Amino acid sequence: TDNLAFDAFWAWGNGGGLYCRSAFPTIVNNTITKNVAAEDGGGIVCSRSSPNITNNTISDNEAGQTGGGIACIRESSPIISNNTVTDNSAGSGGGIHCDESSPSLSHNDFWNNTPDDYYGCGPGDGDISQDPMYVDPGGGDYHLSGGSQCVDVGDGSAPDLPYQDFDGDPRMCDGDGDAVAIVDIGADEYREEYEWNRAPAEWFMQGWDWFSIPLVPRWSADASDVLGFDCENRLFGWDDAEKTFLLYPDDFEDLAVGPNYVLL
């Protein structure tokens, strides 16, 4: 699965969000939230399965017995990397419950799970336990906020690491401003929003022509930045009279504070 939202499902048995049985799926870039299982695995249950679980948001799930976020049972050995596993609840193993299983954990955020974050296993290399600072989890907005401890602390060598996050934004952005781009933990890749030192302007022309727009960013841009602006056509009726252009780093050379030009 990739870029899906598993939200508010109910299972009478196991696996409120996903049930892996004798399977080897790749589970990447999903939000698995607010699901309920009467027995095991409110978010995900692995039974005799070895999936790669990478860069997912697994939050606010509930299991009646074990594994509010993830349950690993019956000789399962999943690889679990770069996931936020937070605010889940179960009888035991609110975050993850392991029974006769050997998961490989790396660079996850297990936080505020009830009654415990881990049962039958322990933290993996790079695992943290911090508030991910979602924008509005109660309203279903699981984007990371500025200052989140999940920014730029993931594992760049995780299996099936996605090139984009669940919004389609590029992975491995420099979200903490230290000039080093590292993948985030969770389904969202946080990026700073900056302002341009450019007031709205108008150009009038007849027929087709080329024109350039001087842009002055208020920051020192780096190779991971994605730049965008809106262009309005009042005559020929683009949808909503607006068109958005996304400009990726290779459209520019040596972008820095000062005048920079974009050719339309």
DSSP string, 194-238: --BS--------SSS---EEEE-BSS---TT--EEEEE--TTTT-
In a domain, 102, yes or no: yes
Please give the distance of CA 106 from its chain centroid, rounded to a whole number.
Answer: 16
In a domain, 175, yes or no: no
Confidence at residue 191, expressed as pLDDT on a 0 to 100 scale: 83
Structural domain harbouring 224: 212-263
**Least confident segment among 16-30, 136-150, 219-233, 235-249:** 235-249
Confidence at residue 250, expressed as pLDDT on a 0 to 100 scale: 46
The domain boundary, picked from 129, 144, 159, lies at 144
In a domain, 104, yes or no: yes
Please tell me the distance from the alpha carbon of residue 109 to that of residue 57, in angstroms, as a whole number.
10
Residue with tokens 């999943």: 78
- Both 113 and 223 in one domain: the answer is no
Confidence at residue 137, expressed as pLDDT on a 0 to 100 scale: 94
In a domain, 232, yes or no: yes
In a domain, 153, yes or no: no
How far is residue 60 from each of residues 68, 94, 143, 174, measured CA to CA in Å?
8, 10, 14, 28
- Both 104 and 233 in one domain: the answer is no
- Both 140 and 254 in one domain: the answer is no
**Mean pLDDT to the nearest integer, 92-115:** 98
Comparing 264 with 130, which gets the higher pLDDT? 130
- Both 135 and 9 in one domain: the answer is yes
In a domain, 154, yes or no: no
Q: How confident is the model at residue 177 (pLDDT cuts 50, 70, 90)?
A: confident
- Both 231 and 104 in one domain: the answer is no
pLDDT above 50 for 246: no
Number of domains in the chain: 2
**Mean pLDDT to the nearest integer, 31-59:** 95
pLDDT above 50 for 257: no
- Both 217 and 125 in one domain: the answer is no
pTM: 0.74
Q: Taking the CA atoms of the chain, what radius of gyration do you get in angstroms?
A: 22
pLDDT above 90 for 75: yes
pLDDT above 90 for 104: yes
- Both 53 and 138 in one domain: the answer is yes
Nearest to 17 by CA among 3, 37, 38, 47: 37
pLDDT above 90 for 173: no
In a domain, 249, yes or no: yes
The domain boundary, picked from 144, 173, 188, lies at 144
- Both 11 and 140 in one domain: the answer is yes
In a domain, 35, yes or no: yes
Whether residue 72 contacts residue 96, with contact meaning beta carbons closer than 8 Å, is answered with yes
- Both 108 and 9 in one domain: the answer is yes
Nearest to 88 by CA among 14, 33, 51, 47: 33
Give the pLDDT confidence of 184-240 residue by residue, as tens digits: 999 999 987 655 455 555 555 455 555 555 555 544 555 455 555 555 555 554 444
**Least confident segment among 27-36, 106-115, 118-127, 200-209:** 200-209
Q: Are strands 70-73 and 109-111 parallel, antiparallel or unpaired?
A: unpaired
The domain boundary, picked from 89, 123, 144, lies at 144
Burial 132-164 (b: 16+ CB within 10 A, else e): bbbeebeeeebbbbeebbbbbbbbeebebbbee
- Both 128 and 253 in one domain: the answer is no
